[in-house]
Amino acid sequence: MAAPSTTAPAPPGRRRSVTGTRRSVAVLFLLPALVLLGALVVYPIGYSLIRSFYNANGDGFAGFDNYKAIFTDDGIRTALKNNVIWVVFAPTVSTALGLIFAVLTERVRWGTAFKLVVFMPMAISMLAAGIIFRLVYDQDPNKGVANAVWVGIHDTFAQSSAFPNAHPGRESPLKADQGGFITAATVHTGQTVALPLVGVAPDQMPGGAKKAVAAKADPGKITGTTWQDFTRGKGVGTLGAPDPSELGYDGMRIEAVKNGKVVASTKAAADGTFTLPAAADGAQLRLPASNFKQPYNGVDWLGPSLVTPAIIGSYVWMWAGFAMVLIAAGLAGLPRELLEAARVDGATEWQVFRKVTIPLLAPVLAVVTVTLMINVLKVFDLVYIIAPGSSQDDANVLALELYRKGFSEGQPGIASAIAVFLLLLVIPVMWFNVRRLRREERR
């Protein structure tokens, strides 16, 4: 039988940790980290909490007035509403897209390359992404990619007019009528009608336009010419008659109107000439408003109504790759025998995805969603850069309002109250995440 140990227990003041290191030594090594933690985290939080109870100058106790402003100030209320929209939609859409990308690329050979491309925006800073999407959402279709695509699709099905700025010149037989123009007098068969207009730059005339010619009379019909009558004065052309240097309005629509009803219509040829049947006898000729509507200029992505969804779209572009990578890692760890067993039992791929894959991925999906929720509560860069000054109030979020109150409007008390409020919003989400991680560790 072994002799009992004679080693005396360590005195209370010289206790060692589980690893055998004295606690005093462990504390000494942790001291630099604790100092940094206190200086960079604890002190700012404490100071913000105290400052939130003082007025703008910091020399008077304001009580809960700064916190009341969070729910009464119009700008902060708009920011709070937008933050709710961000928290609901941005993490949900990013996670859903990440899940779709991860599942669809799991079995294809080029899946790794696709994932690399989708994840690549994560390497771009928020500042750079904001500048990129400020250009993407530019109203001018010649600059903004979004409107260039949108206008292209629109013009495929509803082509814009080639004569948006055309209008009658001096001594014109036309007068304004419901956005278009109509002749003051009626016309009759055998008559030739001149419908001159001005206002279209030569380089904006239709590509198929040809030199305008005077129409020839037809006894049983009404003929005429509509053209760009831009020449003026002696020696430079004849007013009210086609000249060799003038172009016809190719495709201009002409309607014959009697008693407010259209009885005949036609389109001008490339040289501007047109012919109407005998049914147009005694009618007025009208150039309808459809000839002069302004070109479609796309969607005002950064206007008051769409600026928040547009910025959320840029956020999803950046963070869908993050969600995809985490979900793909979770997919790689799924027990394949369960998926194959479901397929053997006759389940379709959609049923396998909905009733097997999604439940098994629930912990990963929760991590991704909660992480993105914490992230969007602090979003600032994208909103500040993408939203123009005219709609920044409509796109406002709490982090941006904190900056504006603290640095632009000189109200650090309210800014501190917003900071504390944001902290209170983040804490429950973080607590849920930590609790879930501990529960997973116990399993």
| Distance in angstroms (rounded) separating the CA atoms of residues 412 and 404 | 10
What tokens does 358 get? 């999604």
DSSP string, 260-326: TEEEEEEE--TTSEEEE-GGGTTPEEEE-GGGTPPPP----TTSTTTHHHHHHHHHHHHHHHHHHHH
Is residue 233 over pLDDT 90?
no
Residue with tokens 């690399």: 116
Asked if 252 and 291 count as a contact pair (C-beta separation under 8 A), the reply is yes
| Distance in angstroms (rounded) separating the CA atoms of residues 24 and 20 | 12
Is residue 353 over pLDDT 50?
yes
| pLDDT-based confidence at residue 157 (cuts at 50, 70, 90) | confident
Average pLDDT score over residue span 32-60:
89
Which span out of 23-27, 188-192, 435-439 was modeled with the highest average pLDDT?
188-192
pTM above threshold 0.85: no
Average pLDDT score over residue span 68-82:
91
pLDDT in tens, 287-318: 998 888 877 888 899 999 999 999 999 999 99
Is residue 155 over pLDDT 80?
no
| pLDDT-based confidence at residue 234 (cuts at 50, 70, 90) | low
What pLDDT does residue 232 have? 59
Is residue 6 over pLDDT 60?
no
Average pLDDT score over residue span 200-208:
80
- 439: closest CA among 341, 334, 366, 383? 366
What pLDDT does residue 12 have? 54
